[in-house]
Amino acid sequence: MPETPAVPAGKRPTLADVAARAGVSTALVSIVMRDAKGASAATRERVLQAAREIGYRPDARARLLRSQRSRLLGVQFGLQHPFHTDLVEGLYAAAEPAGYQIALSAVAAGRGEQRAVETLLADRCEALILLGPQAPAARLAEVAGQLPVVSVARRLRPAIPGLEVVRTADDEGARQAVDHLVALGHRDIVHIDGGRAPGAADRRRGYRTAMNRHGLAEHIRIIPGGLTEEDGADAARALSADRPHPTAVMAFNDRCATGVLDVFLRAGIAVPDDISVVGFDDSHLARLAHIDLTTVGQDIPRLAHLAVSRAVARLEGDQVLAGEDVITPRLVVRSTTAPPSL
C-alpha cells in the first residue's frame, strides 16, 4: 500500500510542494533536481528525501517551456517497417549519451507524414529525424527552413538547404549483391525493385551498372516490387511461372525478400538450390535463424548514430560537414545464396 502523498488530492506535486516540505526555496529544489551545483550535500539529501516522500516528479513540459532548449529530437517513423523500428532502437541509444530525448511520431494508416511532422513541431522539437520520408521535396524544404532536419535513407537531389542526409550507399550495396551472385556463377539475376520507395532508384541503378560491368547486359531484368512482403510475394509468383527460372533474385529489401522466399518454398522451388535470394537492410527479419537471409547489411546502429550526431552538431553550432553521410554497406552472406545448379 503506497503511502498517501501529502499534497492536495488530484494534483500532482510541484517544486513548491517539495520546497515547503523541505523548508527551502523552490529555486533550491530546482537546483537539486537538475543535479546542478549550488547546494550542500546535507540540504541536497533533505530535498531529495522530501521529494521522494510526496512522490514528486519534474514536469517535463514546464521545464521545457522555461529553458530555452528543449533537447528534444523528433523522430518520424513507419510503424510497420522493421527497418525503421530497428533504427528507432538505435536512435534511442544514440540520443541518450548526447543528452537528448527522443519524441516519436508514427506514420500509419490514416496518419500521414504531414500529420506526424506537425505534431513534432508543436512539441517544440529542436530538430527532426525523418526515417525514409516520402513527402515531396518541396514540403521537406519548407520544414527544413524552420529547423534542422535529417533525412535517413532518403537521398535528396538537388540538396535542400537545412536538410542533411544520412544514408547507405544503395548503389554500392546493389553492386555487392550482384558481385556476390556473379562470383557464385550466376548470370541470370533478376531485380525486384522498390518502385518509388526511398533508395529504390539507386539500388536499381547499382544493379544495372554492375550487370553491365560483368557483361550481363542482356540478362538485366527488373520487375516491379515494393517494400512489403506482399509486394515480394506478388513478384515471386510472377517469376515462378517463368520457365526456365532465373537462377538468382535480388529483392528491394528484407521484407520483400521474405515474401519471395515463402512463395518459392510453397511452389517447390528450393532456395538456394534452385534459386538464390538476396535481401537488403539486414533488419531483424533477416537475422532470424529460420530465415537466415543473405542480405546487404545497412549498418543500422551507425546510421542512427550519425543521424543523431548530425542533428546535435547543427544544434550546438558545431561546424557541420556539408553534404551527406554515405555509409558503405556490407554484404552479409547467410544461407539463401549458393552456386546455381547446373
Question: Sign of the CA dihedral 200, 211, 175, 336?
Answer: positive
Residues of this chain, 7-66, that bind DNA according to CB under 7 A: 11-12, 14-16, 23-28, 30-31, 33-34, 36-44, 56-59, 62-63, 65-66
Q: Which amino acid is at 193?
A: D
User: b/e for 120-130, b at 16 or more Cβ within 10 A?
Assistant: beeeebbbbbb
Of the candidate residues 67, 114, 328, 341, the single one contacting DNA (CB under 7 A): 67
Binding at 251: pick from a copy of itself, DNA, none (beta carbon under 5-8 Å per type): none
Q: How far is Cα 296 from Cα 174, in angstroms, rounded to an integer?
A: 8
Residues with Cβ within 8 Å of residue 291, at least 6 apart in sequence = 258, 261, 285
Binding at 9: pick from a copy of itself, DNA, none (beta carbon under 5-8 Å per type): none
Q: Which amino acid is at 89?
A: E
Least separation in angstroms between CB 97 and DNA:
20
> By C-beta, is 61 or 213 nearer to DNA?
61
Binding at 241: pick from DNA, a copy of itself, none (beta carbon under 5-8 Å per type): none
DSSP H or E stretch at residue 100: none
Contact 275, 247 (CB under 8 A): yes
Asked whether position 82 contacts a copy of itself by CB under 8 A, the answer is yes
Q: What does 217-272 look like in DSSP terms, one character per residue?
A: GGG-EEE---SSHHHHHHHHHHHHTSSSPPSEEEESSHHHHHHHHHHHHHTT--TT
Q: Which residues bind DNA (CB under 7 A)?
A: 11-12, 14-16, 23-28, 30-31, 33-34, 36-44, 56-59, 62-63, 65-68
Q: Give the interface with a copy of itself as residue ranges (CB under 8 A).
A: 2, 12, 55, 57-62, 64-65, 70, 79-80, 82, 85, 88-89, 92-93, 101, 104-106, 108-111, 118-119, 121-124, 141-142, 145-146, 229-230, 233, 236, 259, 262-263, 265-266, 284, 288-291
